[in-house]
Structure 1
Amino acid sequence: MHALAFDVGGTKIAAGLCDDEDRIIHRWRIPTPHDPADIDAAIAGIYREAKGLCESGGTVGASGGTADSADRSGIGSIGISACGNVTSDRRTMSFAPNIAAWHDYPLADTVEAAIGHECPVMVENDANCAGWGEYVHGAGRGSAYMVLLTVGTGLGGAIIADGKLYRGAFGMAGELGHVAMVPDGDFCGCGLRGCAERYISGNALERFARSAVRRYPDRAGRLMELCGGNVDHLRGAMIAQAVKEGDSLAQYAFDKIGEWLGRVMAQASAVLDPELYVIGGGVVEVGDVLLGPARRNFDRFLEAGAHRPHARIVAAEAGQDAGLIGAANLSRQVTAG
């Protein structure tokens, strides 16, 4: 049976129809509706389109892409990856920072009702889906104890323990972006201060680079050129371009988030002791520019580091598809069990 996976964000909904080996054979991408109540209807619409695709064995032209592997086996499960806290039964969004209406919102029940209860629905946190996708089909293949850290707008996390996704007693485990790193530090969107994602994220990269430009204007020529002379317009893509050109201030900004990333992994190892860290998200596209300082500082801050094995630290491999792949695979397991 096929699985239909959704990745619901604040601005877009990505969807993929996956075969029984989690290969994405058809894709959809639509803007997230302005009214959160319309998200269920949008998901139901894509479900009906995907169902028709399976029944016809052909293509669906409206949303693009050809699914030559589609057949009449139908859709056996729906997996929804969403940014926010998901209850332990994988049915309800208890809190979603980007979708205000998703507070104690019975997302699985509502979607099942919208599609006429034709197919079971599973909901999971987006970082957990991405982590599971990397574990089953990405950089985590062959490991048993793995931690994914996604460095994007914020810092997401997922924990694999003994080959299973670790969710904790209430489904809230893996929020490594909200480990307190700096007492009375910068305010975080979660309401706390000094959280890790305030120092390890695309936003943090931009803050570190802007601070460096203001402190060392005589060395900021390239970054100022890229941002049109207005440091407030300096963005992550510009910093990544500058660091590839050898710019020292851009390197400083990546060194800073790499240092904090190493610190977080060292703290996580004191609790979880994984064999592998997989680093994903848009910021990691610079490769060893970020992973190099992260590895050095992991070694530096690891408890009893001279007397224990060190986890490997590698870049993610599944890319933007990790969340869809993970949601599809998990939905099969959860709805079958």
Structure 2
Amino acid sequence: MTTRIGRERPLTVGIDVGGTNIRASVVDGAGEVLDSVQAPTPHSERALDDGLERAVRELRGRHRIGAVGLAVAGFVDETRTSVRFAPHLPWEDSPVASRLSERLELPVILEHDANAAMWAEYRFGAAAGAHNGVLVAIGTGIGAALLVGGELYRGSFGVAPELGHLQVVPNGRACPCGKRGCWERYCSGTALVDTAIERLAIDPARSTILAREVSRDPGSLTGRRVAGAAQDGDPVALEVLADFARWLGLGLAFVSDIFDPDLVVIAGGVSSSAPLFLDEAREHYAASITGARHRPLARIRTTQLGEGAGMIGAAELARTALGAGPAAEHHVPVV
């Protein structure tokens, strides 16, 4: 148990509470995943609480667990004990941490999933050694996290930062958040599809792959398929990825003008296609940032921990509740 620094620290459970699946992992103090379970996400509040309890008890039957951390895609309150709202989960103004802690008789903390991923990358992955960092998780939309002075920044009410909903195009594409022209409407897996459909409507004959796929089944197009078509040389798909790279670079310049980070980590499902857009995005970023020739640029990296980052980060943050790991902030509530 001591072959790597940190392994001797208490084991904790990190849980990624997604809209489709619950994924729970036992994580040691070196950030290594030792054991995992997965189950479909229930659709009622009571059933979801039951499912989380079952997952932890199953893992607890095989390991000595000291605390539990939940990574949630939604608004977590500033004490990290309640979920204010989660669009794909049945919790609303719900004291999740105290309920689960009472059931399990273990400390439980909550964390926004992007924050949890950022903390994992900072402790064990691509953001190691960063002082001020930004994580941009690009999937269906954009999730984001800020690291300021080596600590997660959550804002006054626990909901910072919603970078994906910065308006970059006045009166632009409609966003599910209720606004128009949000960054994620031009820089996400969903945006890849929307841009592809727009360009195909103008001149479908220019596409050798996407047009055929859309004509066969218009609803089958996904961001992953657009990226695959670009990999295969489809002209329209290549234009779509170039447009995506431009929006990513412009958005990162906007973020950097505000926060001046030394590191940006690109995570989320779209990050797996980074070779198709990241170099070009770096060029747009370097050209668009204010005072580019007179200031250092942030390093831009892709995730090292992949889809497991949220679980690993939640588990590591839970470890702070035991006083057994570097704290993400000065005071960690224990329930």
TM-score (normalizing by structure 2):
0.90
Equivalent of 2:119 in 124, 132, 152: 132
Once the two structures are superposed, residues 236-275 of structure 1 have per-residue CA deviations (whole angstroms, 9 ceiling, x without a partner) of 2221211111222111111112211111111111111001
User: Aligned pair 1:111/2:121, yes or no?
Assistant: no
Residue pair 2:107, 2:321 contacting (<8 A) in 1 also: no
Output the aligned Cα RMSD: 1.4
The share of aligned pairs that are identical, in percent, is: 38
Match of 2:225 in 1: 238
* Distance in 1 separating the partners of 2:276 and 2:300: 13
* Distance in 2 separating the partners of 1:173 and 1:29: 29
Match of 1:261 in 2: 248
Q: Structure 1: which 5+ runs fail to align?
A: 55-73
Match of 1:209 in 2: 196
* Pairs within 5 Å for 1:138-153: 138-153=125-140
Residue pair 2:22, 2:39 contacting (<8 A) in 1 also: yes
* Distance in 1 separating the partners of 2:285 and 2:322: 38
Match of 2:84 in 1: 94
SS at match of 2:14: strand
Residue pair 2:147, 2:153 contacting (<8 A) in 1 also: yes
Equivalent of 2:272 in 280, 285, 291: 285
Residue pair 2:120, 2:309 contacting (<8 A) in 1 also: yes
Q: 1:218 to 1:10 in 2, by over 3 A?
A: same
Q: 1:335 to 1:93 in 2, by over 3 A?
A: farther
Equivalent of 2:39 in 19, 30, 33: 30
* Distance in 2 separating the partners of 1:28 and 1:334: 23
Q: Structure 2: which 5+ runs fail to align?
A: 1-9, 324-331
Match of 1:310 in 2: 297
* Distance in 1 separating the partners of 2:213 and 2:120: 35
- Per-residue deviation, 1:24: 0.8
Match of 1:167 in 2: 154
- Per-residue deviation, 1:228: 5.7
User: Aligned pair 1:79/2:66, yes or no?
Assistant: no
Question: How many aligned positions are there?
Answer: 315
Match of 2:281 in 1: 294
SS at match of 2:94: coil
Runs of 4+ that moved beyond 6 A: none
* Pairs within 5 Å for 1:186-197: 186-197=173-184
TM-score (normalizing by structure 1):
0.90
- Per-residue deviation, 1:231: 3.8
SS at match of 2:13: strand
User: Aligned pair 1:45/2:45, yes or no?
Assistant: no
* Distance in 2 separating the partners of 1:172 and 1:119: 25
- Per-residue deviation, 1:225: 3.1
* Pairs within 5 Å for 1:7-18: 7-18=16-27
Letter paired with 2:178:
G
Match of 2:205 in 1: 218
- Per-residue deviation, 1:226: 3.8
- Per-residue deviation, 1:224: 2.6
Match of 2:5 in 1: none
Letter paired with 1:84:
G
- Per-residue deviation, 1:189: 1.6
User: Which protein has greater RCO, CA pairs closer than 8 Å, 6+ apart?
Assistant: 2
SS at match of 1:254: helix
Residue pair 1:226, 1:238 contacting (<8 A) in 2 also: no
Residue pair 1:224, 1:231 contacting (<8 A) in 2 also: no
* Distance in 1 separating the partners of 2:284 and 2:321: 38
* Distance in 2 separating the partners of 1:124 and 1:108: 10
* Distance in 1 separating the partners of 2:321 and 2:286: 37
SS at match of 2:167: coil
Letter paired with 1:11:
T
* Distance in 2 separating the partners of 1:316 and 1:22: 14
- Per-residue deviation, 1:334: 4.0
- Per-residue deviation, 1:179: 1.2
Residue pair 2:205, 2:211 contacting (<8 A) in 1 also: no
Letter paired with 2:258:
V
* Distance in 1 separating the partners of 2:170 and 2:198: 21
* Distance in 1 separating the partners of 2:161 and 2:283: 23
- Per-residue deviation, 1:31: 0.3
* Distance in 2 separating the partners of 1:294 and 1:38: 43
